[in-house]
Amino acid sequence: MSADTAVPRRRTRREFLKEAGTVTAVALTIGFEWAGTSRRASALAAARTRSTFTPNAFVRIGADDSVTVIAKHLEMGQGAYTGIATIVAEELDADWTQIRVESAPADAKRYANLAFGTMQGTGGSSAMANSWTQLREAGAKARAMLLAAAAKGWKVPAAELTVDKGIIYHAGSKRQATFGSLVATAASLPVPDTVTLKDPKDFELIGHQAPRVDVPAKVDGTAQFTLDVALPGMLVALLKRAPQFGATVKSFDASAATRVKGVVKVVQVPRGVAVIAQSFWAAKQGRDALIVEWDDNNAEKRSSAALMEEYRRLADQPARSARKDGDAVAAIRDATHRMSASYEFPFLAHAPMEPLDAVVKLTSNSCEIWAGDQFQTVDQANAARTAGLDPQQVSIHTLYAGGSFGRRANPYSDYIVEAVSIAKAYGADGTPIKLQWTREDDIHGGLYRPMYYHKLEAGLSDQKELTGWRHVIVGQSILSGTLMEFMVKDGIDPTSVEGAANIAYVIPNVSVELATTKTGVPTLWWRVVGSSHTTFAVEAFIDEVAHAAGQDGFTFRRRLLEHHPRMKGVLELAAEKAGWSGAPLPKGKGRGIAVAEAFKTFVAQVAEVSVDDKGYVSVDRVVCAVDCGIPINPDVIAAQMEGGIGFGLGAVLYGAITLKEGRVEQDNFNSYRVLRMNEMPKVEVHIVPSMEAPTGVGEPGVAPVGPAVANAIFAATGKRVYVLPFPKPGTA
Amino acid sequence: MPTSFVLNGKATTLDADPNMPLLWAIREVAGLPGTKFGCGMALCGACSVHLDGQSIRSCVTPLASVAGREVRTIEGLQSHAAKAVQAAWIALQVPQCGYCQSGQIMSAAALLEKNASPTDADIDGAMSGNICRCATYSRIRAGIHAAARSIKAQV
């Protein structure tokens, strides 16, 4: 499986270095061959010199029977490589053990994310959805050409041939041939214009959980991350950045830093002062010794508490309308029973396990980048602008990313631009330089999930019918001021209101409003984007409304979702599997439910919590139902739900970036706490069978867990949660 | 000043700053990059290696402090327990991004080498220092139980 089998012997570091040196000296295409998979997968340049069959931009079949699938998407843990390979292998009828995956170069023409238009990138849980038809056709066309090659050689009609696990058979003449034996002939044949895709009932890999292509290398330590890139003569840079967002370098004293053994150079760049050294440790000591004076004239100096106070005030001012059905204000005013609640959400850091890093090799006419790159063509353009080159002169080797959760997909390309600017300041002489962020750099580094304040009001009739719903959201826009600003329509950033403006419940009068704020704190999408806060507000408040209406949360929601079979479907499945209507839980325990639609995937979760005498909460169990269309790989889907639940749970229990006088108060995993092993609930995942086109699973599982837990805490204690994270860690 | 120790079963001498954390010595000087950098403060466990059989955090362990001792990294895992852990990780498809998994596997192997039948509480105790931001915790727990069963079946 994957290219690991290509070179069975484990290489020593020295051998690898030697080879990496050779590889980079040869050409770009070889460079990306060892990128993104395993160091053992170096797949020897020799293999490329033999004949191969490359029918399109996504498949390459070797004379050795290997089937290499070219991935235009980043593998950051979400299983994209496996999903991509599964789709191609299915239509090709390849043997799963023949499959390798290789990362694509930056090239918007061939490798654009079709959900994004003309840019190459990974995000919005779109990898499977946008690749589905494209890769099925790529696999099917390759198969048709291999069949044509066999038919030509055997002088039999192609219609009499069958394919099973990478071998083509002709029953009549009892002949058979492997893919590899046909590559030379296949390569000489025309690519068909059209091709018939499989009937989904004939799928053999899709829906049947092929093992992940990246797991073996991630179990023996050979998986290639950016941290692991070691090129001959490579230097390591650490960058000292301003302690407040918007501050700039006034002056610096590098005398002590340059005295550190191993420090090569100290350079000023737009984002700070970089210490470039022969090793991480020398760069770290050099940076510790560096003295920088900052100009804070344009810095954001407010505290997050002051920002939230301003947000609360703004929630009572007129805001822009994101959705208006009927007259919510009048309906609530005239209601028999009125209720309101507000919810506060902090800034959140993504904190992927691999701190941001990038390797740049810059010359006067070329820029080569190695990174867990998530926005290839955006990063290419930003790198080119920084280097003073054309985008075509910038090549990107996309490696495995040690997590991202949105952080590496950013329109500013912050860490890439930093690395290029350092290489430029160093002299652009072709010396490879690895920019390494520390965990403190990551926690202090901005591009957080924005802070938000939500205010909700609802009205119930004397029959306890929900007649009016008003939802006001206050917070920063993620898209404004970026190259994606075109998505902001009439002052509404869709990422601020998704999950709220499209509330699925049938309510006659709905108003969703947005007040967009400006701060000096740079912000970015964070796993599941808008639904990371909107789902909490909607699902916590609807639970409160259900309680006021005298109904349980499940029954109340289901009645308002009669028109929406997929949303209702996951709700019912989760409730059934969790035993919602079974025996009540003992005292001190509670059950809560929540449902969400994110990126056209539907997820419902039921959480069970225990709350002890001191108010400490433990989440015992989460039952999850998901409808993501045709399940391409059920085990990967389950893993993404499990992981999404753990990720979301850590955030509601502990996650917060706070500012005091503009300075971030957290530093590392001691003060920016995330979920740990002992806090992980038991998770059960149930997948709704479906023949709809597949949608994504990387993010949606994050959305419902917070409100499901908050609603369970209410069931256990009678107390509602209005401020995230829970005010005292681990307590309600 | 050179430091001599046993690295993955082989006598090794590294000529590096004795205060350099073991993590960077094994990664950048010895050239074994399977051990990862996550926090630099012994808070996340990505840098876990075995020092005389114990799972320790190499990011806060000065190179000089391992002189004369035995260090084992993901590249040098050989024990039955370790192999059982790696096999279980593949069988249960534990990794997602995979960055923390070297450290997870080192901590899990050290646990099973001392405790052949760990309870959930034992697993919490041994593994809570290893963060996984992908939250693969359920599968890590199941993987440790599966490895324990397979070790017993072999005996």
Residue A678 with chain B: CB contacts under 8 Å: 124, 128
A/B interface, count of CB pairs below 8 Å: 184
Residue A16 identity: F
pLDDT of amino acid A34:
34
Nearest CA in chain A to B98: A218
pLDDT of amino acid A50:
56
User: Which residue in the set A402, A640, A677 is minimally distant from B124, CB to CB?
Assistant: A677
Residue B31 with chain A: CB contacts under 8 Å: 12-14, 16-17, 230
Segment B71-89 shows an average pLDDT of 98
Q: Are residues B86 and B144 in the same domain?
A: yes
Nearest CA in chain B to A76: B97
Residue B89 with chain A: CB contacts under 8 Å: 215, 219
Which fold would CATH assign to domain A226-298+356-436?
A: Aldehyde Oxidoreductase; domain 4 (3.30.365)
Which fold would CATH assign to domain A304-348+447-717?
A: Aldehyde Oxidoreductase; domain 4 (3.30.365)
User: Which residue in the set B28, B31, B98 is minimally distant from A279, CB to CB?
Assistant: B28
Q: Given an 8 Å threshold on Cβ–Cβ distance, is B36 in contact with A10?
A: no
Provide the domain count of chain B: 2
Last residue of a domain, one of B42, B76, B110: B76
Residues A539 and A704 sit within 8 Å (Cβ to Cβ): yes
Which fold would CATH assign to domain A2-219?
A: Aldehyde Oxidoreductase; domain 4 (3.30.365)
Average of per-residue pLDDT values in chain B: 97
Q: Are residues B69 and B93 in the same domain?
A: no
Nearest CA in chain B to A682: B138
Q: Given an 8 Å threshold on Cβ–Cβ distance, is B134 in contact with A13?
A: no
Residue B130 with chain A: CB contacts under 8 Å: 677
In angstroms, the CA A635 to CA A618 distance is: 26
Q: Given an 8 Å threshold on Cβ–Cβ distance, is A642 in contact with B127?
A: no
Listing DSSP states for A642-697 in one string gives: HHHHHHHHHHHHH--B-EETTEE---STTTS----GGGPPEEEEEE----SPP---
Q: Given an 8 Å threshold on Cβ–Cβ distance, is B44 in contact with A439?
A: yes
CATH code: domain of residue B141: 1.10.150.120
- Taking the Cβ of residue A232 and every Cβ of chain B, the question of whether any pair is shorter than 8 Å is answered with no
Q: Given an 8 Å threshold on Cβ–Cβ distance, is B98 in contact with A221?
A: no
pLDDT of amino acid B154:
81
pLDDT of amino acid B50:
98
- Taking the Cβ of residue A676 and every Cβ of chain B, the question of whether any pair is shorter than 8 Å is answered with yes
Q: Given an 8 Å threshold on Cβ–Cβ distance, is A353 in contact with B131?
A: yes
Q: Are residues B88 and B150 in the same domain?
A: yes
CA distance B155 to chain A (A): 24
- Which parts of chain A register pLDDT below 70? 1-50, 728-732
**φ, ψ for residue A88 (rounded to 5)?**
-65, -50
Last residue of a domain, one of B53, B76, B99: B76
A488: tokens are 């902001």
pTM of the entire structure?
0.94
User: Which residue in the set A220, A279, A405 is minimally distant from B86, CB to CB?
Assistant: A220
pLDDT of amino acid A694:
98
pLDDT of amino acid A187:
96
Give the closest residue to A259 by CA, choosing from A285, A241, A237.
Answer: A285
Percentage of chain B lying above the pLDDT 70 cut? 99
Residue B78 with chain A: CB contacts under 8 Å: none
Sign of the C-alpha dihedral computed for residues A161, A167, A171 and A175 taken in this order? positive
CATH code: domain of residue B34: 3.10.20.30
Strand order in the sheet with A67-71: A52-56, A59-62, A67-71, A99-103
pLDDT of amino acid A634:
97
SS3 call for A64: coil
In angstroms, the CA A346 to CA A243 distance is: 19
**pLDDT per residue as tens digits for the range A342-400:** 999 999 999 999 999 999 999 999 999 999 999 999 999 999 999 999 999 999 999 99
- The residue segments making up the domain with residue B33 are 2-76
pLDDT of amino acid A306:
98
Q: Are residues B38 and B72 in the same domain?
A: yes
pLDDT of amino acid B155:
67
Last residue of a domain, one of B26, B42, B76: B76
Residue A646 with chain B: CB contacts under 8 Å: 132, 134-138
- Taking the Cβ of residue A228 and every Cβ of chain B, the question of whether any pair is shorter than 8 Å is answered with yes
DSSP 8-state code for residue A451: P
Q: Given an 8 Å threshold on Cβ–Cβ distance, is B97 in contact with A678?
A: no
> Does the interface predicted TM-score (ipTM) exceed 0.90?
yes
Tell me the residues of chain A between 447 and 486 that have a Cβ less than 8 Å away from chain B: none
Per-domain boundaries in chain A = 2-219, 226-298+356-436, 304-348+447-717
**pLDDT per residue as tens digits for the range B13-49:** 999 999 999 999 999 999 999 999 999 999 999 999 9
SS3 call for A275: strand
Q: Are residues B85 and B138 in the same domain?
A: yes
pLDDT of amino acid A16:
33
